[in-house]
Structure 1
Amino acid sequence: MYLVKRTRDEVAAAMHDPRVGDPVGDLVDRSGMTDHDVEQVVRLMNALRNWHEAAERMSESSRRYMRLNETDMRALRYLIAAHNQKRLVTPGALTEYLGISSASTTKLLDRLEKGGHVRRGPHPTDRRALTVSVTDTTRVDARQSVGRQHARRFAVAADLPPAEREVVISFLDSLSATEVVEGNRVSD
């Protein structure tokens, strides 16, 4: 029985606090850290959680606006980037980028083409190949939703002094390197 009633936000905020989640220190080494140090790291972890949740909300909002699923949106972002770089995209290149099967790519392209988001056409130099491109309407719609969100995030990063950007880059790279996925579980 709990003596103190906590709100959902208070519980969520404490999830990254090793004093709550690992009170005996079996997993998280806090030796040599002051209470202030631990509190600051907890604030950092909570800020990351807040960013992750905000990014998920933005992604969901974009998918809802475009009426597409996550894989469809990834495909469109790739096609838009290729268009902006004046590069041709084949179904095979899209398959490789998305990490899905050829059959799944065909279904994805059928769905996107039916929705007016992409068009398939002949490859200019290989008669056996097709190219895939995003329609102008979808490119403009994506620019209005995803593009504007990206511009706001870019502006926040650009506002940091160069030395602070390097610290953030180093931190995020190190954080990313801690996750090694094997099968469906994260390994040690």
Structure 2
Amino acid sequence: MSETPVVPVAALLDAVDRCRYAAARLERTRAAAGHTSITEREALRYLRAASARGEPCTPKQLGEHLGITTPSMTSLLDRLEASGFLTRVPNPTDRRSSYVQLTLAAPDRDDTDPLAAHIAALCAAIPLADAEIITRFLIDLAALHPTTTTRTGTVQETQ
């Protein structure tokens, strides 16, 4: 009977830390090069997903997803609209509201992420059962909320 090697938790934590550091380093490189910000890319990703589901998206929905204020959302939409990535269209059922939608000029993942093709190749090489486990782990990891630890060692959630 052969046993499947188990990755120790410490090695997994180290790998997560290395991924977080690499992502931060890539983000600093993008910012220095004047490319789209992480918030802009997440807004575009969210709008692509909403469009793929056939769901309209309001600026309020997008702002809530991004966790940004109304003035910040307005600035973000102004920048993305000026860059030709999206447009605001009237909501046919509510004159006070509008929808945000991608334009044909909106970049796809490969345009906004120089590693997208490499990541896709790595993902394609993972066996289906492992991919399901990794997917669940990454979704759970992404869903974590920022916390702070007090001097007494208790953890408090921040808003």
Query: Shared fold (TM-score greater than 0.5)?
Result: yes
1:135 is aligned to 103
AA paired with 1:151? A
Asked if structure 2 preserves the Cα contact closer than 8 Å seen for 1:120 and 1:131, the reply is yes
Asked if structure 2 preserves the Cα contact closer than 8 Å seen for 1:80 and 1:139, the reply is no
Name the structure where helix makes up a greater proportion of residues: 1
Counterpart Cα distance in 2 of 1:55 and 1:84: 26
Match of 1:155 among 100, 107, 124: 124
Pairing of 1:34-113 with structure 2 (within 5 A): 40-57=8-25, 67-113=35-81
- State the 1:117 CA deviation: 1.4
Q: 1:134 to 1:176 in 2, by over 3 A?
A: closer
**CA distances 1:9-33 after superposition (whole Å, capped 9, x unpaired):** xxxxxxxxxxxxxxxxxxxxxxxxx
Give 3-state SS (helix, strand or coil) of 1:106's partner.
Answer: helix
2:94 is aligned to 126
Name the structure where strand makes up a greater proportion of residues: 2
Counterpart Cα distance in 2 of 1:92 and 1:154: 33
Give 3-state SS (helix, strand or coil) of 1:131's partner.
Answer: strand
Asked if structure 1 preserves the Cα contact closer than 8 Å seen for 2:41 and 2:112, the reply is no
- State the 1:97 CA deviation: 0.6
**CA distances 1:115-141 after superposition (whole Å, capped 9, x unpaired):** 11111111132222111111212244x
Percent identity, please.
Answer: 32
AA paired with 2:147? V
Gaps of 5+ in 2: 1-5
**CA distances 1:46-73 after superposition (whole Å, capped 9, x unpaired):** 3223322334455556667882111111
Q: 1:87 to 1:59 in 2, by over 3 A?
A: farther
How many residues matched? Answer: 147
Q: Does 1:181 align with 2:150?
A: no
TM-score w.r.t. length of structure 2: 0.67
CA RMSD of aligned residues (A): 3.8
Asked if structure 2 preserves the Cα contact closer than 8 Å seen for 1:117 and 1:138, the reply is yes
Q: 1:154 to 1:170 in 2, by over 3 A?
A: closer
Q: Larger C-alpha radius of gyration, 1 or 2?
A: 1
Asked if structure 2 preserves the Cα contact closer than 8 Å seen for 1:180 and 1:187, the reply is no
